Amino acid sequence: MAETLYPWAWVTLPWLKYELGIDATDTTQDDRVTILGNAAIDAIESYCNRNIGARDYDVRRVGGMPYGFSGMGLATPDVNRVWDRVETPITDVERIELDGIPLTFFLADENPELDPFLYDCHVLPRGVGLWRSFGWRAWTMRLIYSAGYTPDVVPQDLRLATAITAREWYRLPLLQRQGIRNETMNGQSITYRDATMPPEATEILSGYAKVGF
């Protein structure tokens, strides 16, 4: 049975093959490249401590305290109005409920001309969270939404980090089988790392990582 990329993958098999220098008509390595792509996706999401690929969510929370505030803007008037402990970027919302009551809402990126005070809440620009003028205190909350990146909409730096990881891991097994730990190219000595996230990739991904989420 042929290997397939995760449904939430933000890269495609043809793109991976191109980045690895494999001819598009060569299908002999498709399974290996697919496994490698999924491994890179797993590693990146694990490093970032969050889901990055596009998924659907049905989140239910119970409790009497406000939920989902980062606490990073205590001096701002929006401190109790922004629900940002959600997966991002939010791309679609099906339903928002507080104590079983559905709220009216809109997506700011799709409807920038709408007045937020005429709706119960709205998705902030770039899908970074939800804003509600009366805050989010409730005993029960439910949010049905979609969030994450697809191959058609993915930041170039995230795509680059994926390519860097895949390229290094693609070459590593052959070098290990040959017992090569370092070699000289163009007069420069190159030492190969084990199969961990390349520093060049983690430097890019630091902007996507979530702490304490």
Would residue 6 count as lying in a domain? no
d(CA 138, CA 197): 41
Mark whether 170 and 112 lie in a shared domain: no
pLDDT over 70 at 199, yes or no:
yes
**Contact at 8 Å (CB) between 153 and 159?**
no
**Contact at 8 Å (CB) between 49 and 211?**
yes
Mark whether 168 and 105 lie in a shared domain: no
Query: Tens of pLDDT along 65-108?
Result: 444 444 333 334 444 678 877 899 999 999 999 889 999 999 99
DSSP helix/strand/coil, 173: helix
**Contact at 8 Å (CB) between 151 and 10?**
yes
Would residue 7 count as lying in a domain? no
pLDDT band at 181 (very low <50, low <70, confident <90, very high): very low
| Domain housing 171 | 13-51+154-205
d(CA 1, CA 113): 50
Mark whether 122 and 171 lie in a shared domain: no
Would residue 2 count as lying in a domain? no
Mark whether 66 and 89 lie in a shared domain: yes
Mark whether 95 and 33 lie in a shared domain: no
User: Which position has the token pair 């099906």?
Assistant: 94
Q: Is the pTM of this model over 0.85?
A: no
User: Which position has the token pair 């299908």?
Assistant: 27
Beta bridge partners of residue 140, listed in sequence order: 62
Would residue 4 count as lying in a domain? no
Domain total for the chain?
A: 2
pLDDT band at 175 (very low <50, low <70, confident <90, very high): very low
